[in-house]
Structure 1
Amino acid sequence: MNVNNVIRPPKRFSTSYLSQLNIQAYGSDNLYPQRMSDLIQNSPTGGTCLERYQTFIEGNGLSDTEFSEYVCNRKDETIDDIFSLIAQDIATYNGFALHVNYNLACEICELQHIPFENCRLEEEDDAGSVTYINVHPDWEGNKTRKGRRINVDRSNVKKYHTFNPIPSVVIDQIESCGGIEHYSGQVLWVSMNGKFKYPKPVYDKVVTNLSTDEGLDNVKYRNVRNGFMLSGLFVHKKSVQYEFDENGNAIEKDTQYDLSDSLDAFQGDNNACSIMEIVVNSSDDKPEFINVEGTNYDDKFKVTESSTTERIYSAFGQEPWYCIRIGKLGFSGDVLSEAYEYYNSYVSKQRRTISRALKRIFDHWFEVANPSDNYEIEPLVYISNKSAESSPINNTKA
């Protein structure tokens, strides 16, 4: 069987044109990054892998600590603050966006981070280039300011020129805007999937497993919180109660009990090991206690949970941690050290992309902010108790 005969797989996401905003839609509803963020955050396994992925991308921060402490905008944010936000975006969305402002000398004088999920690409021009990056604070249209909803329309979408630090280009943009006071700067928009292509995060390939992982967690929750966990049933003869009518005649009182009215009193962990009382009418039945064992649904999904977890770890390239988790590799310092070394090489491409982006900006900065010209990111290193004891700091004599 060749590729023409197999069932055609659906596209991961589609890119269409939204004429009312003159932008390329990011997914069928223009909310692909928001959907993916919600999906990964609701998956316990996926969220854990994402946090580790982001931690290793960020590493120990920029190697040049003086440069990392440099204040780069009017909000008093440092390069290290911006760098941390970049690492979060590239881990979650596989891309990031940085806004820069220029002075009258056409030099970059300010750097700010823009949440990647807030950015949308303008439609390509005749030359196949994207001229503007469109930014809205909430493409879902739920955010409010001063009690009023920020609608997704042209009046609330801000356009920024794409990054191009050539002085002649910057001057033309400033003049077309009516002066430097009206100029909104440029945006360096970076995608790991290619120039001006909407990126897919690394976990896009396991969206069904992430959703399954969330469902398995819900099953566990409901199994404990809503499960029918009786200790047993106590069955005995119904007691007869009498009441009197208006003539003074004794009549049997109706004490019919509806079991369905109290079933919730025997559900969940707070009511576990309760005893349900069952009353019977037959005088021949003697009191007895019946053991009851509820159904444990956790056991029914063990294989599903194992395969789902493995695939999520694999999507993030975290097989060593999965093997440690299931006890396949043990938990020694050497194993963890090798896992750190492996994953540092796994995220090297993301780190290199961040370093290059920072260099592109600070090569056109209005002053020498980074004399060393070092934009490398220091990788994480596993520190065991043994290595900590042998470090120069711990061996220093008082």
Structure 2
Amino acid sequence: MNVKTAKKPESRVGVGYSQQFKMQTYGEDNLYPQNLLAITSASGTARLCLNRYAKFIEGFGFKDTNFSEYVLNKKGDTSDTILHNFSEDVARFKGFALHVNYNVFCQIVEVQHIPFENCRLEEEDENGYIGHILIHPDWKGKKTRNGKSILVTKDTVKKICVFNPDPKVVQSQVEAAGGIDQYEGQVLWVSLDGPSVYHTPIYDPVVTEMSTDEGLSNVKNRNVRNNFLVSCMIIAKKGAPSVDVDGQVIEKKMIAPEDLRKFQGDTNGNKILLVELEEDEDEPKVVAFPTKNYDKDFTVTDESTVERIYAQFHQELFYAIRMGKLGFSGDVMRDAYEYYAGEVTTEQRFIERAFDQVFKYWHEPVNISHDFSLRPLKYIDSNGTSVNS
């Protein structure tokens, strides 16, 4: 078999076009980021790996502590706060977005984080240029404000110019908006896959495994919560039939559905099930009642699924520590932290360059060295000291 004859996989992110908003849709249903969030949130392994990935991207924050505490907007968000939000977006979506505002001198005066899943790209023009980012708080149209759903309409979708700090460009945009008070600023939208390109996160190839991880958790839950966990069954004589107040014989089922539910789940384990017989000559007897445990049936699937998710995040060392293959010690954890801190340097430099772009046009002198480098995360032992040198 060669490349030509091999079965062609479907595109991971289908990019379409929305005539209503003149934008590129992110996935065929325009909900690719939202779908990813739903899948990863339902997988315990995915959440663990994603949180670790974001944690290492953020590291110990900016080396320049003066800058880390610097307030960037009216809400009081500091550089460290924005960095934390950035790190989560880069881990989940391989990109992030910033909203910047200008003063009358075309200088940046405010920076705010925009949830990356809320952003969409305008359609390219004939030169391949994308001029605007479209923003909506919930592209599913289910989020509410004042008790009303925020539907996806032209009135609720904001269309904001892409980041271009050239004073001449900013001035022309301010004039077109009708003045600085009407101007909505610009959006710095960046992706690790390249400029103006919808990206796929590093874990996209294992979304099937993440969904499988959720399914395995459901099986385990139902095995414990809904399985029959009685220890045995007693078969006894039923006796005389019941008669109601009108003299009518009441027919009883041997086991009613509501009775069965009394023997399902962990809180009803080890009960005795009583079954009454119709015929008097049948003697009572005790019958073992075996239960079915499905956990062993899925052991191989469970282990291989978890391992593949860890591997896609390049967290094999942490998986080996978890499985007891490397043991647990300060040296082992130091090596694991040092290894993974090196794995996220590309993402950290990506964030550093974005901050550098913005603060070249900041409105006031900042008491920083303009070194936006991030400190790598290090393992802290039980005494509170850094094990990494």
TM-score if structure 2 supplies the norm length?
Answer: 0.95
Question: Which residues of 2 match residues 67-106 of structure 1 at below 5 A?
Answer: 67-106=67-106
Letter in 2 for 1:97: A
Question: Which residues of 2 match residues 257-296 of structure 1 at below 5 A?
Answer: 257-261=253-257, 262-296=259-293
After superposition, give the CA deviation of every residue in 1:209-238 in whole Å (9 maximum; x if it has no partner): 000000000001100100111110011223
- Contiguous gaps of at least 5 residues in structure 2: none
| Separation in 1, partners of 2:93, 2:241 | 70
By how many angstroms is 1:387 displaced?
Answer: 8.0
Is 1:144 aligned with 2:153? no
Q: Summarize the Cα distance change of 1:140–1:245 in structure 2 as closer, same or farther, 3 Å threshold.
A: closer
Letter in 1 for 2:90: I
Is 1:39 aligned with 2:34? no
| Separation in 2, partners of 1:387, 1:267 | 47
By how many angstroms is 1:240 displaced?
Answer: 3.0
Is 1:215 aligned with 2:210? no
By how many angstroms is 1:300 displaced?
Answer: 0.6
| Separation in 2, partners of 1:136, 1:389 | 43
Is 1:312 aligned with 2:309? yes
Q: Summarize the Cα distance change of 1:155–1:237 in structure 2 as closer, same or farther, 3 Å threshold.
A: same
Larger-Rg structure = 1
Q: Summarize the Cα distance change of 1:204–1:28 in structure 2 as closer, same or farther, 3 Å threshold.
A: same
By how many angstroms is 1:8 displaced?
Answer: 1.4
Number of residue pairs matched by the alignment: 387
- The aligned residue for residue 108 of structure 2 is 108
Q: Summarize the Cα distance change of 1:241–1:154 in structure 2 as closer, same or farther, 3 Å threshold.
A: closer
Is 1:342 aligned with 2:339? yes
After superposition, give the CA deviation of every residue in 1:22-64 in whole Å (9 maximum; x if it has no partner): 1000000000000001110110110111111111111111111
| Separation in 1, partners of 2:301, 2:353 | 42
Could you tell me whether the CA contact under 8 Å between 1:240 and 1:253 is conserved in 2? no
Moved >6 Å (runs of 4+): 242-246
| Separation in 2, partners of 1:73, 1:160 | 18
Percent pairwise identity: 47
After superposition, give the CA deviation of every residue in 1:151-188 in whole Å (9 maximum; x if it has no partner): 21111111111111111111111112121111111110
By how many angstroms is 1:241 displaced?
Answer: 5.6
- Contiguous gaps of at least 5 residues in structure 1: 392-398
- Give the 3-state SS of the residue equivalent to 2:231 in structure 1: strand
Is 1:364 aligned with 2:351? no
Is 1:384 aligned with 2:381? yes
| Separation in 1, partners of 2:172, 2:14 | 35
Could you tell me whether the CA contact under 8 Å between 2:89 and 2:96 is conserved in 1? yes
- The aligned residue for residue 395 of structure 1 is none
| Separation in 1, partners of 2:245, 2:100 | 91
Letter in 2 for 1:120: R
Could you tell me whether the CA contact under 8 Å between 1:240 and 1:252 is conserved in 2? no
- The aligned residue for residue 160 of structure 2 is 160
After superposition, give the CA deviation of every residue in 1:76-130 in whole Å (9 maximum; x if it has no partner): 1111111111111111111100011111111111111111011000000111011
TM-score if structure 1 supplies the norm length?
Answer: 0.93
Letter in 2 for 1:276: L
By how many angstroms is 1:146 displaced?
Answer: 2.1
